[in-house]
Structures are given as structure tokens and as C-alpha cells.
A and B are shown apart, each in its own frame.
Chain A
């Protein structure tokens, strides 16, 4: 085999590997250098049971961001969720953030509902109106024990 053919083959091989790796990393690993920029807002919930970091945030059913860090406020015993919202989406300061489940056994996600105010949230602001996650078990047990 001639030296150049060998080098071309190896080069093509490495290139193919690099392309496969970056496709996987960008598409699935959420490592995206070209991602649209986001701004952070926070929201407090009494319970976020089942919500994970990295889950989607939807506004009118369209994905507009991802859940960042989740912390516990040790004084108020509330969950503080950092939301990363796309820069293109402006939220009013009376928006409502609620935790919903897709389907009956599906994953939890955050649903945003736009308010009517004329003041918009800026980076670092907090969404005041929140609805915590609804636990199927609690609902079922409430129904069972209340009906006695």
C-alpha cells in the first residue's frame, strides 16, 4: 500500500470518528456550543417531587428552556429551582410556573403560563406564582380516606 493512500484512509477514519462523536455529543449530550443563549430566573415550590435537573420547560406546549440547579432553602423548607429560559422568550412578572406530568406515568416538566402584566422578568428575577407537583398517590389516598 502506498504511503499516501494509507494516510488518507487513516485520516478519513479519524474524521468519521470525530463526526460521530460530535453528533452524539451535540444531539444527545446537550453539549452545544451553538445553543441559543438563555437567562436565569428562579422559582420556589413547596414540593418538586420527581422533577430532575435538565428537564424541559414549556410555554404553551413549546420547549423554551431547561431546568438548571435545584436547591433546598433550609430556612423556608422550600425548593428553589433555577430555570434557564431562552433569550427570545420574555416572561411577564406575574407568570405562573407549575410542575406537570406528561401522561399518567410520564416525566415531570415545568409549564409556564404567561400573565397579563406589562413588566417583564429580567435575569435573576423570581417567579412568584408557582404550583407544586401533584402526587398521584396523595390524590388517590385522599380520595380513599375521605370517602370513609
Chain B
């Protein structure tokens, strides 16, 4: 019985400790962005890794998401005889929700797992300690460029996703199912407002920060994770953790941002 209480207390303390560490980690690494020396080239390389190499997967996922939306939307709207609303339905759901969220999920899967494993292995092979010995701030050197790159790449990818998705909806709705082209695009232009585009922008910026924050944090503190295993198995567990945790956080925050801004 006493053991159970002790277990509960231990878990709570661990949770508190991790939360605090996450907060400090975020503050320190975000502040280091603004501290010279600024390494533009490191940021460019991270944008290449985060953004440019995700384009293919984003384009494919976006196209098919749009096509599915077009197809489903068409069959649902047809029951009310209002197929002309298809354009606005596809565009609004892409811009407000699916664009930023699916982009974030794809980036977590592609880049988030990779940076977590990369930093985890650096921690394991004591490269991070080596950086500290050379008086190089590992947060500034490793984490800060990733934050900047994610802040730039995520919105870019999300907007590409939206455009390709709208084109996918056009393919499915107009080309295959025969909705009139004019009503598809005109309905879209009329119903989408600047506020929707701003929402997409805000969401993808926040998601970018969350992704880098969670995945780098998990890798950086590999040695403090409570799984108790270090080395290759530890890295694999921490990476899995990071991907799951980041995905769940994205979906929760998606709701929070949506309800805060739409209300």
C-alpha cells in the first residue's frame, strides 16, 4: 500500500520535473536564436532537410486528401442538391484544418523522428558533451537552427498542401464527377476569407515550434528518460515516444487553437 503511494508520488515528481525541464529547454534554445553568432548556412541546411525534402510527400498526400474531400463532399452535397458548395467545402476544410495538421503529421514522421534520433545518438556517443567542452552551446548549435527552419518550412509546406489539395478536389469534383468549374472556384473565392488563411498560418507556425520542441527535447535528454535503457534501444524508444507525443500534441493543439481563434 505504501509502495503504491510512493509510486504515485514518484510518477508525479517525474512529471513535474519533465515539465519544468521542457520549459527551461524551450526558453534557453529559443533565446539562443537571437544571440550571435548567427549561422545562416546552418538554417539553410535545416530548411533543406525539413522543408525541401518533404515537398514530394506533401504533394502526394495533399493531392489525394483533396481528391478524397472532393469525392466525399460531392456525394454528401448531392443529397441536398447543392454540389456548387463543393469548392468552398474543400477549400475551407483544407485551409482551416487538414492543411496544417496533415503537414505537421507528415513532417513529424519524416523529419521529427530523424532529428530526435540524430540528437539522441549525439547524446549517447557523448558528442553533446564534447561540444560543451569546446565551449559551444549545444542548444545554439544544434537546436536553434531547427526552430528557425521549422518556423519557415511548416507554413510553406502547409500552403503547398492547400494548393495541391484544392487542385485534387478540382480533379475529383470537376473533372471526374462533373461539378461546374465556375461554381467550384467561385464558391471557393467567395467563402474563404483572409481570417481562414491567417488561421492556417498561425496553426502551422505553432505546430512547427511544437514539433521541434518535443522531438529535440526527447533526444537531447535521452540519458534522463525513465525507460532505463541507453544506447541503440534507448534511442529507438525515445524516438517512438517523441513521434507519438508530438502527433498527439499537434491534434490537441489543433483543437485548442481552433476554438480560441474561431470563438
Contacts of B157 in A (CB 8 A): 17
- CB-based contact A25/B155 at 8 Å: no
- CB-based contact B192/A28 at 8 Å: yes
A18 to B157: give the CA distance in the assembly, Å: 10
- CB-based contact B162/A6 at 8 Å: no
- CB-based contact A24/B162 at 8 Å: yes
- CB-based contact A7/B52 at 8 Å: no
Distance from B60 Cβ to chain A, minimum over Cβ atoms (Å): 15
B130 within 8 A of A: no
Set A10, A13, A17, A29: member contacting B197, Cβ < 8 A? A29
Contacts of A18 in B (CB 8 A): 156
Contacts of A68 in B (CB 8 A): none
How many A residues face the partner with a CB closer than 8 A? 22
How many B residues face the partner with a CB closer than 8 A? 28
Contacts of A10 in B (CB 8 A): 44, 47-48, 51-52
Set A13, A20, A30, A31: member contacting B162, Cβ < 8 A? A20
- CB-based contact A20/B194 at 8 Å: no
Contacts of B159 in A (CB 8 A): 17, 20-21, 24
Closest to B46 in A: A10
- CB-based contact A21/B155 at 8 Å: yes
Distance from B101 Cβ to chain A, minimum over Cβ atoms (Å): 17
B233 within 8 A of A: no
A24 to B152: give the CA distance in the assembly, Å: 17
* In the complex, number of A-B residue pairs with CB atoms less than 8 Å apart: 72
- CB-based contact A30/B156 at 8 Å: no
Closest to A17 in B: B156
Q: A16-B156, A20-B162 are in contact. Are A31 and B194 (CB under 8 A)?
A: yes
B61 within 8 A of A: no
A27 to B166: give the CA distance in the assembly, Å: 13
Distance from A104 Cβ to chain B, minimum over Cβ atoms (Å): 12
Contacts of B48 in A (CB 8 A): 6, 9-10, 13
Q: Which of B180-216 contact A (CB under 8 A)?
A: 188-190, 192-194, 196-198, 201
Binding site for B on A (CB under 8 A): 6-7, 9-10, 12-14, 16-18, 20-21, 23-25, 27-31, 54, 56
| 23 pairs, CB–CB < 8 Å, chain A vs chain B | A9-B48, A9-B52, A10-B47, A13-B52, A13-B55, A13-B153, A13-B156, A16-B160, A17-B51, A17-B156, A17-B159, A17-B160, A21-B159, A21-B201, A23-B163, A24-B95, A24-B192, A28-B95, A28-B188, A28-B197, A29-B194, A31-B194, A56-B190
